[in-house]
Amino acid sequence: MAERSGTAQKRHVWITGASTGIGEALARKMAREGWTVTVSARSQDKLDALAEKQPGIVPHALDVTDLEAVRAGVKAIEEKTGPIDLAVLNAGTHEKDSMETFKAEEVRRIMELNYMGVVNCVDAVLPGMLERKSGHLALVASIAGWRGLPTAAAYGASKAAVIALAESLKFDGDRLGIKVQVVNPGFVKTPLTDLNEFKMPFLMEVEDAVEAFYNGLREDAFEITFPWKFAFIMRRFQRMPYSLFFRLISKGTGK
């Protein structure tokens, strides 16, 4: 599989949102594959437990919504473990919403973590990558960012913003030697999706999702998405006219 020189040679990955779910599983996978893996989340205890179970993992707790903390954290990580060759910006959350419960404060909270958390991390890692003229950014969004879906006004908007951010950064990344990818998962069985009260189509086991995620990181395609059957169906919805899209989604979700 094709790999760009910086990522392939130095192999130090920083993964945010790594205390549970896809982030945790990806950290374990990449450590087993020989990467030096720095993991971040707000929970020091969970990160320490992960590092104890899997050699090659270095914990560094931080809050991605705190820009100055992220800048200081990246500096400390690189001083301790070396330059970050790949940043997997995975921290995020989801809470269902509706018109009846809509509050600006809740939308802002989701945007601060899911979108500004990614922005803060990009801000912190880019100077070093630009100086080295190499690096790899993987911004984790979601298939839910492709079109507006019921009960996901804040979540979908935050993920759509991450997709647009990645798309915009790629133009300069190609010119400056920094690989940019966006990761758009569908439904993956994690503690977050366990909270969903509806049947999730093409629900994927986390181990299978991480395998697809890791393989995608090693390739040059801009977008990494899984499971492919769900992504294929959602791409069809993405191209539909509004009248048909609203009718089919309403029928499928009961909303």
How many angstroms separate the Cα of 167 from the Cα of each of 25, 127, 183?
26, 19, 11
Q: Is 62 left (phi over 0), alpha (psi -120 to 50) or beta?
A: beta
21-32 and 44-53 are packed helices; what angle lies between their axes, rounded to 10 degrees?
Answer: 30
Sequence length of the chain is 255
**Whether 115 is catalytic:** no
Q: Say if residue 86 is exposed, middle or buried (CB neighbours under 10 Å; 0-12, 13-18, 19+).
A: buried
Angle at alpha carbon of residue 45, lines to 68 and 12, rounded to 5°: 60
Choosing from 115, 155, 214, 242, the catalytic residue is 155
CB contact set of 63 (below 8 Å; sequence gap of 6+): 42, 69, 70
Taking the C-alpha atoms of residue 235 and residue 142, their distance in angstroms, rounded to an integer, is 13
Catalytic residues: 155
